Chain A
Amino acid sequence: MRTLCLLVPVALAFLAGCEPDPGAGKTRIRYMAWGNPEALDLEQRLCDEFNARNPDIHVSFLKVPQSAYLNKAIVMFASRTAPDVVRIDHFNFPSLVRKDYFLNLSPLIARDPEFKSTDYFPATLDEGRYKGDIFGMNVLFGAILIYYNKTMFQKAGLEDPYELYRKGEWTYERMRQSAIRLSKTDQNGRPTQFGLILPPWPLTVPIVWAFGGEVLSPDMTQSRLDSPGTAKAFQFLTDLRWKDKASPTPSQAANSAFPFESGKVGMEFNWMGQSVRYRKVATSFEWDVVPVPRGPAGNPTILKGNQLVIYRETRQPEAAWRFVKFITGDYVERLLYVQRRRSFPTRKAIAGSKEFLETKERPFNTKAFVDSIANGRPLPINHRWGEWTNASNAEIDALFSGRSRNAKAVMAEAHRKAAKVLADEEGF
């Protein structure tokens, strides 16, 4: 009984909330984004900065764990309790935008004298387009490039990949040779070092393009997984693992036995944003970046960002738009991409600025960043991405798990499955 009496006031205290209300009397908007604790701290700082600069608005930040982010976002949108400004991964944007969850930003843009579309890289704005209008601004934009272990290359007497790139000799064949040379086993035959970690889907797409293959048709409605270049690309990767043994098998790579930061891997395809983490954990060796190698059809890489959207039924569209402009504006981009070097700015001026190009922290080859963006194509994400990629990847998995070494046959089957999904009448 006594404990119950104790609980009641505690309960009331909890339910009422113990802190004074900082947003009293102001226009309130809510903002939601994901990240690890440091990233979330950063977002909170940005919100605080915005609140300081805009005393008539108060932004409160909803922190959500990334692995459950989509789940929560969907429940919020479906129940019409969504926050005013939400960050949406581009993997999900095409499917969510057509549910009328997001506010059309084009009218806001047209009305706004401050906003200039030409400030931004066209690719970043195009990502957020739906039926011609802009429904999201771009954040955490970047491309795929190769992280390489400089120290390992030097020790093996191999030429630095970035030097090769500058000379125009950084091809997939060169990469393969380097990977083979860098892969070592000990006297018991156990691998101690690998040249390359095979990229997981969708980081394999640059390789597909480089070999002249395609993934989807230009209008993103049909599968092109059966194109000859695609099969060639996957055969290249399959052989790299099983014939050249330059890449760990799934069981060898399991449990993070060979992460890049362990220093036991020569090269890795990864997003620009990873550099933040590698700066912290890859400290026992020198590393840097180089754009993806050149294949018979060039060296395109994939571009992908995330959309910052405004909830369509927001009660504060103007305030929300001011916040969105702030996050994609000069101050924040300078802080995130120049100071913190998180990935790549969406504003051209920042990307071209001296402060961005000259850096005291790894990776030093910032031109690799710039060139990758220039050579990038958007990752073909359509609104059925999850479904058709699950179907095709279940097949493609055979190549990487060793069940089959014949990329042509596997890709034909993967194409069949993806095509079936894409052709199915929607909604069923």
Chain B
Amino acid sequence: MIGRIAVYMLLILGAVLFSVPFFWLVSTALKSSQEYAADPGALIPKSLAWDNFGKAWTALPFPRFVANTVFVTLICTVAQVVTGSLVAYGFSRFEFRSRNALFYTMLATMMLPGQVTMIPVFLIWRQLGAIDTFFPLIIPAFFGGGAFNIFLLRQFFLGIPRELDEAAMMSGASYLTIWWHILLPLSRPAIATVAVFSFLGNWDAFEGPLIYLNSPEKYTVAVGLRMFQDSFGTNFEQVMAASLVHILPAVILFFCAQRYFLKGINLSGLGGR
């Protein structure tokens, strides 16, 4: 009983600590320019300047940006989850001579800061004629989707016992069947995690869209958000409003993705071990 009270108290305390700054963001988004200038630190705006959202939305063609971002993000997320889990399957369930060397090489790709490879990579895409298209943003997702996702899924797969695999193999299941019917369902929280991260990563991606997209009608939300900044003063309120709109789908997605995190969905086939 005391335990439960303690848990609730900690949760509430933590939730307040973590979300109060976020609510300042919301309140700033709702202040008018004059009110923000007068008292930037106020948590509760005196009047609700809903038109900040309107202004932010219409100052630039945000509906178009959102459409572009949704397009890129959806494709990338699906591709990253599928190819990432396939590659992780390979690294975790199989033995082949070059496995460890290749795995460490994959990890190593995360260790070189991206700034020094930015221009060479750009040159490769230029050779492929893909500048000012969505291809540089989408294609890499089909090649495993990044070391982060692969490494994460590999760790999860390694934590799943092999008995089920072996049982399935003895019944003649192919490797792909094992992947699809056994490993994936058992790693729902991990897959959900990768999907959420993938979605967020692509939704927020800025550098890629910035350098590969030239036509303004192809821009993504992250780029559009940045366009609010200028040397003649930043309209903080509108930046916050636009940021909020940008965050909203992510918050909703995260909230909904929770259902893959309910305890007890997994490993139902291994009761009594």
Contacts and interface: CB of A to CB of B under 8 A. Distances in A.
Interface of A: 7, 10-11, 14-15, 17, 19, 30, 34-40, 60-68, 71-72, 75, 78-81, 83, 255-257, 259, 261-262, 273-274, 276-277, 281, 283-284
Task: Give 9 nearest A-B pairs by CB, closest first.
Answer: A36-B230, A65-B226, A37-B59, A277-B233, A65-B227, A277-B232, A262-B37, A63-B216, A75-B211
A367 B150 CA distance: 65
Contact of A79 (B34, B122, B215, B235): B122
B227 A62 contact: no
Nearest to A10: B71
A36 B226 CA distance: 9
Q: Which of B211, B215, B229, B230 has the most CB of A within 10 A?
A: B230
B54 to A, nearest CB: 13
Interface in B227-269: 227-233, 235-236
Interface stretch (B45-53, B126-134, B164-172, B197-205): B126-134
A79 B126 contact: yes
B216 A284 contact: no
Nearest to B224: A65
B226 A7 contact: no
A345 B118 CA distance: 38
B43 interface: no
B38 A14 contact: no
A65 B211 contact: no
A81 B214 CA distance: 10
Given A15-B134, A71-B210, A281 B229 contact: no
A66 B126 contact: no
B228 A256 contact: no
B123 interface: yes
Between B34, B60, B126, B233, the greatest number of chain A beta carbons within 10 A of the residue's beta carbon is seen for B233
Given A68-B226, A79-B119, A7 B74 contact: yes
24 contacts: A10-B71, A14-B68, A17-B215, A34-B230, A36-B235, A37-B59, A37-B228, A38-B59, A40-B227, A61-B216, A62-B216, A65-B227, A65-B229, A66-B231, A67-B226, A78-B119, A79-B126, A81-B126, A256-B37, A256-B40, A261-B37, A274-B233, A281-B34, A281-B233
A17, A36, A61, A63, most chain B CB atoms within 10 A:
A36
A79 B227 contact: no
Given A14-B71, A68-B210, A36 B229 contact: yes
A34 to B, nearest CB: 7
B75 interface: yes
Contacts of A75: 118-119, 122, 211
B83 interface: no
Contacts of A36: 227-230, 232, 235
Given A37-B60, A79-B126, A72 B227 contact: no
A35 B233 contact: no
B223 interface: yes
Contacts of A68: 206, 210, 226
B41 interface: yes
Contacts of A281: 33-34, 37, 233
A67 B229 contact: yes
Contacts of B71: 10-11, 14
A227 to B, nearest CB: 30
Nearest to A18: B217
A64 B215 CA distance: 10
Given A65-B223, A256-B236, 8 more contacts: A14-B68, A60-B215, A62-B216, A67-B229, A72-B210, A75-B119, A81-B131, A262-B37
Given A71-B210, A256-B236, A11 B75 contact: yes
Residue among B34, B126, B214 facing the most chain A CB atoms (10 A cut-off): B214
B211 A276 contact: no
A60 B237 CA distance: 31
B134 A284 contact: no
Nearest to A68: B210
A280 to B, nearest CB: 8
A147 to B, nearest CB: 13
Nearest to B216: A63
B12 to A, nearest CB: 28
Contact of A14 (B41, B131, B134, B206): B134
A44 B232 CA distance: 19
Nearest to B33: A281
A281 B228 CA distance: 16
A320 to B, nearest CB: 17
B40 A257 contact: yes
Given A15-B133, A277-B233, A72 B211 contact: yes
Interface in B51-95: 59-60, 68, 71, 74-75
Contacts of B133: 15
A363 to B, nearest CB: 15
Contacts of B226: 65, 67-68
Interface in B131-152: 131, 133-134
A202 to B, nearest CB: 14
Contact of A63 (B38, B123, B227): B227
A19 B34 CA distance: 40
Nearest to B38: A262
Contacts of B75: 7, 11
Nearest to A36: B230
A36 B56 CA distance: 12
B232 A273 contact: yes
A345 B229 CA distance: 24
B165 to A, nearest CB: 27
B91 to A, nearest CB: 27
A105 to B, nearest CB: 24
